[in-house]
Amino acid sequence: MPSVLLTGFEPFGTTPVNPAEQVARRLDGTDVNGARIASCIVPNTFFTCIEVVKAAIAELQPEVVVMMGEYGGRATITVERIALNLNDGARYGLRDNDGKLLQDVLTAPDGPVAYRSTLPIRAMVRAMRDAGIPADISDTAGTFCCNHLMYGILHHIAVQGLNLRAGWVHLPHLPEVAALEHNLGAPSMSVETAAAGLRVAIAAVGAHPHDTEDTISSRLQI
């Protein structure tokens, strides 16, 4: 696994600092078990974000793409299982950074209803838990820009027949964001812990061409 593209969204909405951007910047240019990480900071805008990551894939020719975003309210790093061909920021009252508020808009009108991550999600979660980092599998990436980008890139890979694996990881709020008045009571995770989790997860991707059959227990349906 000589190269990994790691993407992180810029801040959006009422989130002044996005952990995904901070982790991407920290890990850019580092090595994980012989794999070199190249990071890409992505605009939090529908459709434009897909084009930015497609361009990064064309330029860097990675073997693996790990995309990241923030999911406020979650207490663990969550590895997403599935992306839907649906955009509905209106249900959250969320506009993208260009001010677009989408409702029931398809990412790819000619695409399937959903794509599954092609990363070894169980192995990634197991490795993070074994390293003492809270992690879980999630069955919903939402219907905002994170789900949108995950679906868009998996669709691009499928249509172009590209030989690479890709998927999504959500991070909790950073402590300084959880401390904001409108987020009081929300769980948080330091950027140091989140970055350590991503390093362990990326190492697990390299060690597992196919996912483990181990059952990953969960207390939440997320």
Please determine, for residue 220, whether its predicted confidence score (pLDDT) is greater than 70. Answer: no
Q: What's the number of domains the chain is made of? A: 1
Burial profile 53-91: b = 16 or more Cβ within 10 angstroms, e = fewer: beebbeeeebbbbbbbbbbbebebbbbbbbbbbbbbbee
What mean pLDDT do residues 201-208 have? 97
The reported pLDDT for the residue numbered 219 is 74
The reported pLDDT for the residue numbered 92 is 87
Q: In this structure, is residue 218 part of a structural domain? A: no
Q: Is 11 exposed, middle or buried (0-12, 13-18, 19+ CB in 10 A)?
A: middle
What mean pLDDT do residues 104-132 have? 98
Q: In this structure, is residue 148 part of a structural domain? A: yes
Cα dist. 190→120, 174, 176, 197 in Å? 24, 6, 9, 11
Widest CA span of the chain, in angstroms? Answer: 46
Computed over every residue of the chain, the mean pLDDT equals 96
Q: Which residues contact 147 (CB under 8 A, 6 or more apart)?
A: 83, 84, 86, 87, 141
CB 7 within 8 A of CB 51: no
- Which CATH number goes with the domain that contains 15? 3.40.630.20
Per residue in 14-25, pLDDT (tens digit) is 899 999 999 999
Per residue in 124-179, pLDDT (tens digit) is 999 999 999 999 999 999 999 999 999 999 999 999 999 999 999 999 999 999 99
The reported pLDDT for the residue numbered 221 is 59
The reported pLDDT for the residue numbered 199 is 98
Q: In this structure, is residue 222 part of a structural domain? A: no
The reported pLDDT for the residue numbered 1 is 54
Alpha-carbon dihedral sign for residues 134, 139, 142, 148: positive
Which residues are known catalytic residues? 80, 146, 170
Residue of 158, 136, 191 whose CA lies nearest to 20:
191
Please determine, for residue 53, whether its predicted confidence score (pLDDT) is greater than 70. Answer: yes
Q: In this structure, is residue 221 part of a structural domain? A: no
Full domain range(s) for residue 57: 3-207
Q: In this structure, is residue 17 part of a structural domain? A: yes
Q: In this structure, is residue 217 part of a structural domain? A: no
Cα dist. 68→26, 164, 209, 217 in Å? 13, 17, 21, 23
Q: In this structure, is residue 197 part of a structural domain? A: yes
The reported pLDDT for the residue numbered 131 is 98
Angle between helices 19-27 and 191-207 (to 10 degrees): 60
The reported pLDDT for the residue numbered 208 is 96
Q: In this structure, is residue 32 part of a structural domain? A: yes
